[in-house]
Amino acid sequence: MRLPNNCRSWAIALLLISSTILSSCQKNNSYGRRTAGDPGKKSPTTGADFSFDVEDSTQFFVSRDAEQLPGPNLKLIQGGRAILGSQEEDVMAFRDNLERTVSISTFWMDETEMTNNDYKEFLFDMKKQVSKDSMDKLEPSEKVWRGAMSFNDVYESYYFRFPGFNFYPVAGVSWSQADAYAKWRTAYAQKVVIEERKMDSTLTRSQLIELGVVIAEFRLPNEAEWEYAAKAMIGTQYLDENQEYGRIYPWDGRGVRNPYDSRGKKGAKQGDFLANFKRGRGDYAGIAGDQTNDGEIIPSNVYDMAPNDFGLYNMAGNMNEWVYDVYRPLSFQDADDLNPLRKDGVYDDKEAYGTSLFNDSIRVYKGGSWKDVTYWLAPGARRFMHQDSSTNHIGFRCAMVSLGARGK
């Protein structure tokens, strides 16, 4: 049926008005993709203006500080899927770290072990805050160098105090002391940020988090993070996306020398040792004058060896390192497959502790040291010690969570 001219005109007019209204609605209601760094000027749910002035209490404040403040000396460890566990023959027959697939979230980690100089700074600041009795509990044990049948007592006087050892890894530190260091470092680094930005020192931690200027907690890495960072499989993904072959050590190959020419691993020539370790009974450094030896009888400068593919130094050898986890032989099958961690008091009947060697005071350490043979250099190897004990071959480094997608 053919409409009269006046009806057709009305129909066309209504169609134009409808399309205009629809177009206007779409234009006004579409706010586009928003990110933490670019939240837009208005609320997409109410249409009200955002305030970007922290001093303005009349409107809803939105922070555009979306980038995390990671703190100094940290390397970003990109998360992903990994096969953790011992990939070398279990000659000790512990069977406490069988292979399994897990996923690890992105995090930050110190590129080196904590040094004597780092720990001296900690003691210097804590001396202003705590009593002498408390300070005595924070001092590293220098007695760890004593030996009834050896002449190593000289290190008791010099290793921690002498400036020539300032950038050697700190020794004689227990898990409890390392944990105290991490807590102090968080507070001190946050204080530095507040002072540099001339911010109100009375702001609470929750307020600093909302403003986007908080330093996330420094802490000991958990065992899964440490092992993932040590293996650094990111360096093999172009060859083996499924990671079918894994890595025995934090580098390629089955040996402990650099297999590449000078254009390969940064900081290591072909044939150089890639870790500071004990080659065999009584052999801590090889014969004098041989440039292919590791060159150190005791721990060495934290930058002496080449870094792994994440840019981390000494993830095998030099010093063992404390991790956060309590030790249990079956942690590999009890823990989650996403960011696994063996926490205190989980899945354990405390009444059974009286008949067990393992309790919540027994902590894991990993990595091998200047005092260990090659078996212990494998990231999958694990040992344990009481959290208040210390030795001359266990140190530590810190880690930190990565807060969200960067600016997304």
Number of domains in the chain: 1
Give the CATH number, domain containing residue 394: 3.90.1580.10
Give the pLDDT confidence of 179-196 residue by residue, as tens digits.
999 999 999 999 999 999
Whole-number pLDDT of residue 264: 47
pLDDT-derived band at 378 (thresholds 50, 70, 90) equals: very high
Least confident of 24-33, 136-145, 308-317, 326-335: 24-33
Structural domain containing residue 192: 74-401
Question: Is there a domain that residue 325 lies in?
Answer: yes
* More confident site: 117 or 343: 117
Question: What's the rounded Cα separation, in Å, for the pair 116 and 33?
Answer: 48
pLDDT score for 296? 80
Residue 330 lies in a domain: yes
Give Cα 94 to chain centroid, integer Å. 26
CB crowding 96-105: b at 16 or more within 10 Å, else e? bbeeeebebe
- Report the phi/psi class of residue 276: left, alpha or beta, with left for phi > 0 and alpha for psi in -120 to 50: beta
Confidence at residue 321, expressed as pLDDT on a 0 to 100 scale = 98
Q: Give me the mean pLDDT over the 259-264 stretch.
A: 62
Q: How far apart are CA 396 and CA 221, in angstroms?
A: 9
Q: Quick check: is 254 in a domain?
A: yes
Distance (Å, whole) CA 334 – CA 98: 12
Q: Does a structural domain hold residue 44? A: no
How much is the pLDDT for 338? Answer: 92
Q: Is residue 310 part of a domain?
A: yes
Domain contains 337: yes
Residues linked to residue 115 through DSSP beta bridges, in sequence order: 169
Residue 227: Cβ within 10 Å count: 26
Q: Is residue 28 part of a domain?
A: no
Helix (H, G, I), strand (E, B) or coil at 307: coil
Phi-psi sector, 161: left (phi>0), alpha (psi -120 to 50), beta: alpha
**In this predicted structure, what is the pLDDT of residue 11?**
56
pLDDT at 173: 98
User: What share of the chain has pLDDT > 90, as a percent?
Assistant: 46
Mean pLDDT of 367-394: 95
For 57-70, what is the mean pLDDT? Answer: 82
Q: Is residue 111 part of a domain?
A: yes
- Report CA-CA distances (Å) from 191 to 119, 187, 205, 339: 18, 6, 11, 30
Sign of the torsion formed by the C-alpha atoms of 358, 362, 365 and 371: negative
pLDDT tens column, 90-136: 666 677 778 888 999 999 999 999 999 999 999 999 999 999 999 99
